[in-house]
């Protein structure tokens, strides 16, 4: 069985847990290595039984990460996640014209549209135009709402139109940034990198 699949198998049941023991820089730029041990809860001893050996995961060309050492209950690899949108989609300017009937209501809808796109993973303030307060900007009649990944930008246009305004996109919506990044989720920790390799501890084949 391939090593990655073996690691995932050891964490697929409710009684299975993992421990993110440590993280360190690798031997090449932007490589992070993490060391993971897996275990299973044993009712008979009311505690964890560690499995022999452990795993080294190499995060190759890491561009973003959040580290949280300790126990975790889930681990996954994916190339589709809200965190990846800022890396794998083109960044598009959202421009608007027209004034909303209720700027406060529009702000709430903008916040909800952003949250439904990114969940708890991103903050609106990072993508919105901060040259002036959002309330003032929306009442100005014309301007740039912000610059954000395509999925969010397209949703913002629909929100603006819902409020009787015009929204346009400035940028190549069909662009595909290269490289395309992947994500490793380890409990509350995550790593965004070009690719990941998984090895058993002590295995250098």
Report pTM. 0.91
Spatial distance between the Cα atoms of 90 and 57, rounded to a whole number of angstroms:
29
Q: How confident is the model at residue 111 (pLDDT cuts 50, 70, 90)?
A: very high
Residue of 55 and 15 predicted with greater confidence? 55
Per-residue pLDDT reduced to its tens digit, 156-199: 999 999 999 999 999 999 999 999 999 999 999 999 999 999 99
Name the average pLDDT for the chain: 94
Spatial distance between the Cα atoms of 49 and 2, rounded to a whole number of angstroms:
23
Spatial distance between the Cα atoms of 4 and 194, rounded to a whole number of angstroms:
16
Q: How far is CA 58 from the centre of its chain?
A: 18
């Amino acid at each position: 069985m391939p090593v990655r699949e073996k690691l995932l198998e050891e964490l697929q049941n409710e009684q299975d847990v993992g421990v993110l023991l440590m993280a360190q820089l690798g031997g090449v730029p932007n490589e992070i290595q993490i060391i993971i041990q897996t275990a299973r809860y044993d009712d008979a001893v009311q505690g964890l039984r560690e499995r022999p050996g452990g795993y080294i995961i190499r995060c190759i060309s890491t561009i973003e990460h959040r580290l949280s050492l300790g126990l975790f209950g889930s681990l996954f690899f994916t190339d589709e996640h809200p965190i990846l949108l800022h890396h794998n989609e083109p960044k598009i300017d959202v421009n608007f014209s027209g004034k909303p009937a209720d700027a406060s209501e529009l702000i709430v809808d903008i916040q909800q549209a952003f949250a439904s796109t990114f969940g708890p993973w991103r903050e609106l303030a990072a993508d919105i135009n901060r040259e002036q307060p959002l309330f003032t900007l929306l009442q100005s009649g014309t301007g740039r709402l912000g610059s954000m990944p395509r999925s969010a930008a397209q949703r913002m246009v629909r929100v603006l139109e819902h409020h009787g305004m015009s929204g346009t996109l400035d940028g190549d919506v069909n662009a595909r940034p290269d490289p395309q990044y992947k994500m490793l989720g380890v409990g509350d920790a995550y790593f965004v990198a070009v690719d990941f390799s998984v090895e058993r501890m002590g295995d250098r084949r």
